[in-house]
Structure 1
Amino acid sequence: MARKRKGRDISGWLVVDKPAGITSTAVVNKVRWALGANKAGHAGTLDPDATGVLAIALGEATKTVPYITDALKAYVFTVRLGQATNTDDAEGEVIAESDLRPTDTQIKEALTPFLGEIMQVPPKFSAVKIDGQRAYKLAREDADFEIAARPLWVEELVLVDRPDADHVVLEMTCGKGGYVRAIARDLGAALGCFGHVRELRRIWSGPFEAEDGISLEQVDALAKTPALDEYLMPLEAGLADLPELKCTPEGVVRLRNGNPGMVYPGDAEYGEEAWASFQGRPVAVGIYKSGELHPVRVFVTPSEG
């Protein structure tokens, strides 16, 4: 029999505006402690030096994490032109330099090939696994290895500022699995001047925005108090991109037992993924077919054990 996790049966989302200098895992652990939650996880890692949206799921909301991970995300980042580093960011060692500085027009033209479905090679200092080992571990050991390119959808990539000749500020909207550091590296290569990320901020992720996030200082200040609970967003916030269907009284019983259940007509099309609710509470996520939702994930509320 599985051991019951210690902590509160609390479910929902807490959006943290992550500061620089801390890992995503450390933020999750801090939030879990502050709320006394028995289960927590995040929907998309940010590098330690990156800031912005870190959406943390608690309890049953962890079942909705894939829907945020798969959603579009937006970043604002500064590229340092004229230098390449071994980590593709400012923390790394400079490994190549150039005096060439492209014009704004040249930069804008160079951004076009990065739009749409592209193939991207993740940085060697990344968590990608190579023969069972993390790439960053192999890189620290100066191992000789290659990382295969992988697809990335880039919805938008635009120049938003040029503070000086050495720096360019870009905004990118992309799908899951993208590395902003790789964009900076590859843009620098395309321009013939090298480049790396100087600053990086995730401004939104799916339905969650940085301006709505709570700071880590606030989490500390409100830890273990009911005031912190006021910042929680409901579980269904992670399902914002899916249509909602209302359960019939009979259907909710069947869905909670993991069986297909009847739902009232709604915006979902046949074969489409949707989520079902009953009396304002989320019940399950599944596939809509012929008046029934076929559950993929079923939510358990504390009162249901």
Structure 2
Amino acid sequence: MGRKKGRDISGWVVIDKPAGVTSTSVVGKVRWAFDAKKAGHAGTLDPAATGVLAVALGEATKTVPYVTDALKSYRFQVRLGAATTTDDAEGKVIETSELRPTDVEIEEALKAFRGDIEQVPPQFSAVKVEGERAYDLAREGEVMDLAARPLWVESLDFVARPDRDTVELEMVCGKGGYVRSIARDLGRALGCLGHVLWLRRDWAGPFRAEEGLSLDEIDRLARTPELENHLLPLEYGLADLPEVRATAEGAVRLSHGNPGQVIARDVEFGEEAWASFEGRAVAVGRYMGGELHPARVFNTAGS
């Protein structure tokens, strides 16, 4: 096999994704624009959704799980009175209702969707069913009995009621949340049915949509030094983990995948942390009292 094409470049790029494109296509465009050897993203957005999509290049892809696990904020509108096949406006309407709840009734119903909840993914989702994606089976007309999954909802707030058919909400949640499921289940709880009209992810972990590049900017700046000014250090992906500082000898050992000496403050024994040396991430692992036992090692020498 030949050598994989592209540069050894590492870091994060924040994109403000427009509607109408897939997360995978955005990653492909960013990878091309930077001529990067490796790229990935931290959390899929549906094609119709907009907002922050954090793209990792090179060694930063090793920090993707930590951003995926971080809290995320969504603003969205729910269209009341209709259920669809996809739980959003892209799908076919399958049931309607003339009932419309009051604002007070909506506020009361939202209480059941906060904290630790169980959520069934949409039929059109990337959940795997016997090795196949649910959305592929759904396109073939199959109706699946998908298992409920736990979700932490930090907050779910009533924002506005533009008209009797529409309510705007804002949610902060943990990993694996489906806004479409929230809209579907809220509509059912209110007895009026519902689906997502539009959806925007405002932030994900340390990344903010307002700081993101548009795809037009990516096209305009592609393969130029100016584009690299928008590359954030891979350490951004470790923002939710405590930092420990490796000694010179510890950094060498950690870089080879061995436990290495570190200096730590306010880090609990056994807690996951990342080790830095001279301002750069060396490894992520468990702090074991004076040493870090690495689980992931970063090689940014060629970046």
- TM-score interval for Structure 1 and Structure 2 normalised by the shorter chain: over 0.9
- TM-score of the pair, normalised by structure 1: 0.97
Residue identity opposite 2:120 in structure 1 = V
- Cα distance in 2, alignment partners of residues 21 and 66 from structure 1: 26
- What is aligned with 1:176? 175
- Cα distance in 2, alignment partners of residues 65 and 278 from structure 1: 21
- Cα distance in 1, alignment partners of residues 74 and 286 from structure 2: 32
**8 Å Cα contact 1:244/1:267 also seen in 2:** no
**8 Å Cα contact 2:8/2:302 also seen in 1:** no
The DSSP-based 3-state class of the residue aligned with 1:71 is coil
**8 Å Cα contact 1:13/1:55 also seen in 2:** yes
Task: Give 1:243 deviation, angstroms.
Answer: 1.1
CA distances 1:231-279 after superposition (whole Å, capped 9, x unpaired): 1110100000111111111111111111000012323221111111111
How many residues are aligned here? 303
Residue identity opposite 2:105 in structure 1 = Q
- What is aligned with 2:298? 299
- What is aligned with 2:105? 106
CA distances 1:184-218 after superposition (whole Å, capped 9, x unpaired): 00000000001000000000001111111111111
Gaps of 5+ in 2: none
Residue identity opposite 1:18 in structure 2 = K
Structure 1 residue 146 corresponds to structure 2 residue 145? yes
- What is aligned with 1:194? 193
- What is aligned with 2:204? 205
Structure 1 residue 53 corresponds to structure 2 residue 47? no
Flag the 1:239–1:3 CA change in 2: closer, same or farther, 3 A: farther
**8 Å Cα contact 2:123/2:143 also seen in 1:** no
Structure 1 residue 63 corresponds to structure 2 residue 62? yes
Structure 1 residue 88 corresponds to structure 2 residue 87? yes
Structure 1 residue 247 corresponds to structure 2 residue 246? yes
Structure 1 residue 163 corresponds to structure 2 residue 162? yes
- Cα distance in 1, alignment partners of residues 80 and 106 from structure 2: 11
- Cα distance in 2, alignment partners of residues 303 and 63 from structure 1: 16
The DSSP-based 3-state class of the residue aligned with 2:175 is coil
CA distances 1:136-190 after superposition (whole Å, capped 9, x unpaired): 1111111242111111111100000111111000000111111100000000000
Runs of 4+ off more than 3 Å: none
Task: Give 1:303 deviation, angstroms.
Answer: 4.2
Task: Give 1:4 deviation, angstroms.
Answer: 3.3
The DSSP-based 3-state class of the residue aligned with 1:184 is helix
- What is aligned with 2:21? 22
CA distances 1:8-29 after superposition (whole Å, capped 9, x unpaired): 1110000100000000000000
- What is aligned with 2:258? 259
- Cα distance in 1, alignment partners of residues 186 and 173 from structure 2: 16
The DSSP-based 3-state class of the residue aligned with 1:30 is helix
